[in-house]
Amino acid sequence: MTSLDETGSNDPQERLSSRLMKYRWWIVVAVVCLVAAGAYFFFAKGSPKARAAQQGPSVSPAVPVVAAPVKKGDFSVYLSGLGSVTPLNTVTVKTRVDGELTKVLFKEGQLVSKGELLAEIDPRPFEIQLTQAEGALARDQAQLENARLDLDRYKDLVKQNLIPKQQLDTQASLVNQFAGAVKADQGQIDSARLQLTYSRITAPFSGRIGLRQVDAGNIVHASDATGLAVITQMQPIAVIFSLPEDSLSQVLGKIRSGAKLTVEAYDREQKQKLAIGKLLTVDNQIDPTTGTVKLKAEFPNGNYELFPNQFVNARLLIEVKHNAVIVPSQAIQRGQQGTFVYVVKADQTAEMRLVTVGISQEGNTSITSGLFANELVVVDGADRLRSGGKVDVKGPTGNAPAAQRHQK
């Protein structure tokens, strides 16, 4: 008896087809299961979000910054202007008499003292004039003495009626003439002596002498335009500088109160302080073309730091704010909220702090409210910060610019 398969069919081909259909079905089911398992592992456990969820919440890295401490001290307020060094006295040394220049006793660039002998003119012509004047004086004095004796005799003779009174009057007039001649001779002597003095050329004040303009042996004249040399006073010396007219009322107010304002002179690049002096005066008018006013300061110039016609940057100390809160100017940030700084807290996080800014000077800024001394503020790296974010202070925190001190 023929056996039947699960389909109930006795046909071999039908039984084969039925088995193939069953195998295909199981293959499709297996493939679907594999795809579903792969998708589950990829999307549920293999994605970055899933891995992040397995690792826990994300932590933002600390931002590297440079911080500086907030200082408290004296903050100097300056008014700055361009200026030039000007001698208090300058003179061109000239001869006051004509003659041959026999001696030049100074060296070019030498520092000379007041009254020091600089050069000599040939004195012999003036010595001769002096001798002639002295001779004329001696002659006229003798004639005057004789005329006075005759006048005394004529007075006695007039009393005795031996000579007319007219002769006495004539003799009195002659005495007066000789007295005038004696005075004129004395004037000639004084003039000759003065000319002799002028033949010795001396320094009118202490200073530095420039290049020699005339050599010994030349004939010099009082009318010569060039002169022998130029002397400039070096100690003390002045600086004339300009300030905007808007600052004039502030400066004049300090002057009226009797304050002695300090002026500092810096080099062209404003890096080296050359000298410290005092304000002398303010010009009496404002330059309408520039809107500035000129001021003059005096410097002792003890070590000859300043030189005539030297260009300098002058800084006038107008005020000193005591116990001011001072931060580096790099720490100041500006945004829609206003002016603020980032303060580094004890837990190494940054706090955005609104502040009120005062005066900025030499890389420092005074803060009138919002900060306290010894707090740390970010001076570099603030552009990558947010309030509450972690910070990593890389630079030394003790390099903040020190507070400016009042120059005594």
Q: How confident is the model at residue 11 (pLDDT cuts 50, 70, 90)?
A: low
When the candidates are 2.60.40.10, 3.30.300.20, 3.30.420.40, 2.40.30.170, the CATH number that belongs to 78-88+232-321 is 2.40.30.170
Q: What is the pLDDT of residue 151?
A: 87
* Segment 17-24 mean pLDDT: 61
Q: How confident is the model at residue 403 (pLDDT cuts 50, 70, 90)?
A: very low
pLDDT tens digits, residue range 204-213? 999 999 999 9
* Segment 352-370 mean pLDDT: 86
Let me know if the fold of 64-75+322-393 is the same as that of 78-88+232-321: no
Q: Is 51 a residue whose pLDDT tops 60?
A: no
* Segment 384-398 mean pLDDT: 76
- Per mean pLDDT, which range of 10-14, 52-56, 370-374 is the poorest? 52-56
The larger pLDDT score, comparing residue 401 to residue 76, is at 76
Q: Give the ranges where 43-164 is alpha helix by DSSP (H).
A: 48-55, 124-159
* Segment 77-95 mean pLDDT: 93
Stated pTM of the model: 0.65
| % residues pLDDT > 90 (the chain) | 49
Q: What is the pLDDT of residue 408?
A: 31
The answer regarding whether domain 64-75+322-393 maps to CATH 2.40.420.20 reads yes
The C-alpha atoms of residue 317 and residue 359 are separated, in whole angstroms, by: 14
Structure tokens given for 180:
């005038």
Q: Is 346 a residue whose pLDDT tops 60?
A: yes
Q: Is 3 a residue whose pLDDT tops 70?
A: no
Q: What is the pLDDT of residue 32?
A: 67
Residue in 183, 238, 204, 193 with CA at minimum distance from that of residue 116:
204
The larger pLDDT score, comparing residue 7 to residue 195, is at 195
Q: What is the chain's mean pLDDT, rounded?
A: 84
Domain boundaries 97-229, CATH class = mainly beta
Q: What is the pLDDT of residue 67?
A: 87
Residue 2, SS3 per DSSP: coil
- For residue 272, what are the contacts with CB-CB under 8 A and spacing of at least 6? 266
The C-alpha atoms of residue 111 and residue 106 are separated, in whole angstroms, by: 9
Q: What is the pLDDT of residue 337?
A: 83
Q: What is the pLDDT of residue 381?
A: 81
Query: What does the domain layout of the chain look like in residue ranges?
Result: 1-56, 64-75+322-393, 78-88+232-321, 97-229
Eight-state DSSP code of residue 43:
I
Q: Is 244 a residue whose pLDDT tops 80?
A: yes
Q: How confident is the model at residue 52 (pLDDT cuts 50, 70, 90)?
A: very low
Single-letter amino acid, residue 390 = K
Q: What is the pLDDT of residue 20?
A: 57
Contact between 84 and 310 under an 8 Å Cβ cutoff? The reply is yes
Q: What is the pLDDT of residue 29?
A: 66
Whether the CA torsion 7, 11, 15, 17 is positive or negative: it is negative
Whether the CA torsion 207, 210, 214, 217 is positive or negative: it is positive
Structure tokens given for 55:
């690792």
The position carrying tokens 């130029």 is 230
* Segment 336-354 mean pLDDT: 87
